[in-house]
Structure formats: structure tokens, C-alpha cells
Amino acid sequence: MNSRRRRRALARALAAPLAVGGVVLLVRPEQVARAVSGRGREPSAWVVRVFGGRMLVQHTAVLLHPTRGLVLAGVAADALHAASMVPTALASAAYRRPAWVSGAFAAGSAVLAAAVSPRPGD
């Protein structure tokens, strides 16, 4: 398998479970919120659903068309999400844990997607 095909396969392999994760956030937001909140306040179900919807759309797009531009657009979206969770976690003790979990998940997704992103010209 050449480098181009291998990188596209890696991008798809990462996108598949993340798209499934988006579905879980959409259909089970209360359970996810409870799981990540510990003893803190749970985020509203609609907030969890919005994040899940973005994940589903983003990673389904990569599954269908794993181009460098699309993967890097997803990296940017995940990085922005992760960055937005820092002030949220610092400003709100009630939502600190879910904000850190969400931000860390988005940051990890961004790093992994950047690592498997197709190279220029792929």
C-alpha cells in the first residue's frame, strides 16, 4: 500500500470510532454527562448533543472523503474546542471536570488527526 492510501486509511480508521462517539453523544447525552461529571454539575443534554452532532458530521465527512484539507479543518475545529474549554474550566467550578474531559478529548483528537493527516499532494 502506498503512502497516500495508507494515510487515508489511517484517517478513516481514526474517524470511524469518533463518528460513533458522536452518535453516542447524540442519543445518550444524559448518560455521557453523568459519566464525565463525577460529583460536579452535569452539562445540559443539548450542549452534549451539539458536541456530538459536530463530531458526527466532522468525522463522517472524513470517513467519506479523507483529504488533507478536510482532516486539517477537523483538526482546527477540535483545537478550537479544546482551547474554549480552558477558560470554561477555569471560570466554572461547577463544570470544571466536564470541561477538562471535553477539552482533553478534543485536544487528543486534534493531535491524532494531525498525525495521520494525508501529506500535501495526497
Q: What is the pLDDT of residues 51-68, one digit of tens each?
A: 999 999 999 999 999 999
Q: Is the pLDDT of residue 25 over 90?
A: yes
In the chain, helix, strand, coil percent, each to 5? 80, 0, 20
- Domain ranges for the chain, please list them: 3-116
Q: Determine if the pTM surpasses 0.95.
A: no
C-alpha cell, 59 = 468525522
| C-alpha–C-alpha distance, residues 34 and 36, integer Å | 6
Range 18-29 average pLDDT:
97
Local structure of 16: helix, strand or coil: helix
Task: Give the tens place of pLDDT for each residue, 82-121.
Answer: 999 999 999 999 999 999 999 999 999 999 999 999 888 6
